């Protein structure tokens, strides 16, 4: 079940990314593309009032063509907003206008995007391209890490959310310095000092654990703890199991940092950069490692290439289907205009280019023109095939070396098989 949910997220992410790419490729000939962001708490009638106002101000636009285009875009948005009493739960973004198709042709499109996370801005912008930055930010990984810097005198903790550091708080200790005062016995002083250090570590462990584990959706989103400080303090702290056992097993690494107050947190994130990069793709990397291992084995269980994977899917031989998130292809169902001939074909899709412009050729049976009957995104189509034999599906990003190899060397389509086949 958990796997199905996760799959859904990867798919939604892929769909969303593809939609943004397509919008990004659109260019207006003038400043005539409208981007409108409506946060969930905004009143629709306030938005429509603003749009009517903008419509009126179009009179100031000098170019007649631009003026007409902006006005028809605004009208189109207004007519769409009629269907909404309130914005959807995450708000909405609308992109509308005439964009160039190449040659002298233009196409008018109006796209409503339902964002995967709540929008927190309200925006109306008219430009020669669409403003997509607020939505692109939602594509960034939303993992959360606990940050902890410490030495024997102070400690500070916080979170790393995506690329943002959230400092939370810290404590200082009353651990006595190394120099004992006159009159104390050395052994007794050392003993007291150790007790004080242990007490301080215990306090750090309890406080930091409480903060980290209170994080919303901890078991799904909290990816690990980074600990920074001088040696041997941080090593001592880790070895002493002072954090909650759920956090203790999520410690990603220990890193040298000079500061153990709030300034230590960015220093820690910087020192842990490589370790973090690896974490984001750790699950995808495990699948790619397995695939590459099977590939070099004699009689290994690896297959790749669209044709081979289709055959393996058909006979139910695929254990895990590996699809590159960079795949931009469509599967076309094509039929003859006059006889019963039909075929399927895979074509590359470039953002902003219309698949309907691809020449289909003529029927090999009767030479009548071939026509497009159905177009499906190749990831959708292969996913359905995989579902039919309960194969697992992994969408692999190209944010890491093995991931980009899947796309560049294996055409973005590969599989780990259940058993060896001839394909």
Binding-site ranges for Zn ion (CB under 5 A)? 336, 339, 341, 363, 365-366, 368
- Minimum CB separation of residue 361 from Zn ion in Å reads 11
d(CA 377, CA 122): 32
Nearer to Zn ion, 206 or 344 (CB): 344
Nearer to Zn ion, 6 or 343 (CB): 343
Nearer to Zn ion, 368 or 409 (CB): 368
d(CA 81, CA 167): 41
Nearer to Zn ion, 303 or 336 (CB): 336
Nearer to Zn ion, 368 or 371 (CB): 368
- Minimum CB separation of residue 335 from Zn ion in Å reads 8
Tell me if residue 156 falls in helix, strand or coil.
strand
- Minimum CB separation of residue 369 from Zn ion in Å reads 9
d(CA 334, CA 403): 32
- Minimum CB separation of residue 373 from Zn ion in Å reads 13
- Minimum CB separation of residue 356 from Zn ion in Å reads 20
- Minimum CB separation of residue 374 from Zn ion in Å reads 17
Residues 6+ apart with CB under 8 A from 114: 88, 90, 92
d(CA 205, CA 247): 10
d(CA 272, CA 253): 8
- Minimum CB separation of residue 307 from Zn ion in Å reads 24
Nearer to Zn ion, 231 or 338 (CB): 338
Question: Encoding tokens for residue 411?
Answer: 């055409």
Q: How far is CA 385 from CA 1, 129, 318, 321, 381, in A?
A: 19, 37, 10, 10, 7
Nearer to Zn ion, 120 or 338 (CB): 338
- DSSP string covering 229-286, please? ESTTHHHHHHHTT-S-HHHHTTEEEEEE-S--STTHHHHHHHHTHHHHHHHHTHHHHH
CA nearest neighbour of 136 among 110, 160, 163, 109: 163
């Amino acid at each position: 079940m958990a796997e199905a949910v996760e799959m859904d997220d990867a798919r939604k992410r892929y769909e969303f990314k593809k939609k943004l790419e397509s919008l990004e490729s659109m260019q207006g000939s003038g400043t005539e593309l409208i981007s409108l962001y409506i946060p969930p708490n905004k009143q629709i009638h306030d938005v429509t009032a603003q749009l009517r106002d903008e419509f009126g101000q179009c009179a100031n636009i000098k170019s007649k063509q631009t003026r007409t285009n902006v006005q028809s875009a605004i009208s189109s948005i207004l007519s769409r907003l009629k269907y909404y009493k309130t914005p959807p739960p995450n708000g909405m973004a609308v992109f509308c206008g005439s964009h160039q198709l190449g040659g002298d042709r233009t196409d008018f499109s109006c796209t409503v995007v339902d964002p995967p996370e709540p929008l927190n801005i309200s925006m109306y912008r008219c430009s020669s391209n669409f403003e997509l930055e607020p939505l692109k930010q939602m594509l960034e990984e939303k993992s959360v890490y606990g940050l902890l810097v410490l030495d024997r005198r102070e400690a500070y903790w916080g979170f790393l959310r995506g690329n943002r550091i959230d400092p939370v708080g810290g404590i200082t200790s009353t651990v006595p310095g190394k120099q004992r005062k006159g009159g104390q016995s050395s052994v007794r002083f050392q003993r007291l000092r150790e007790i004080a250090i242990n007490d301080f570590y215990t306090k750090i462990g309890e406080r930091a654990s409480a903060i980290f584990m209170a994080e919303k959706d901890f078991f799904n989103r909290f990816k690990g703890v980074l600990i920074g400080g001088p040696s041997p303090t941080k090593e001592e702290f880790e070895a002493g199991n002072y954090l909650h056992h759920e956090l203790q097993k999520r410690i990603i690494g220990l890193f040298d940092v000079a500061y153990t107050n709030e300034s230590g947190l960015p220093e820690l994130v910087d020192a842990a950069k490589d370790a973090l990069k690896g974490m984001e793709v750790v699950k995808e990397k495990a699948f790619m490692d397995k695939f590459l291992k099977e590939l070099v084995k004699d009689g290994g269980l690896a297959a790749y290439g669209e044709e081979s994977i289709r055959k393996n899917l058909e006979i139910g031989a695929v254990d895990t289907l590996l699809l590159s998130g960079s795949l931009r292809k469509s599967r076309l169902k094509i039929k003859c205009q006059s006889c019963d001939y039909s075929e399927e074909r895979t074509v590359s899709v470039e953002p902003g280019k219309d698949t309907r412009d691809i020449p289909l050729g003529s029927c090999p049976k009767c030479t009548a023109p071939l026509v497009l009957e159905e177009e499906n995104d190749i990831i959708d189509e292969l996913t359905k095939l995989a579902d039919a034999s309960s194969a697992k599906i992994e969408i692999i990003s190209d944010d890491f070396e093995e991931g980009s190899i899947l796309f560049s060397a294996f055409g973005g389509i590969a599989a780990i098989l259940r058993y060896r086949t001839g394909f």
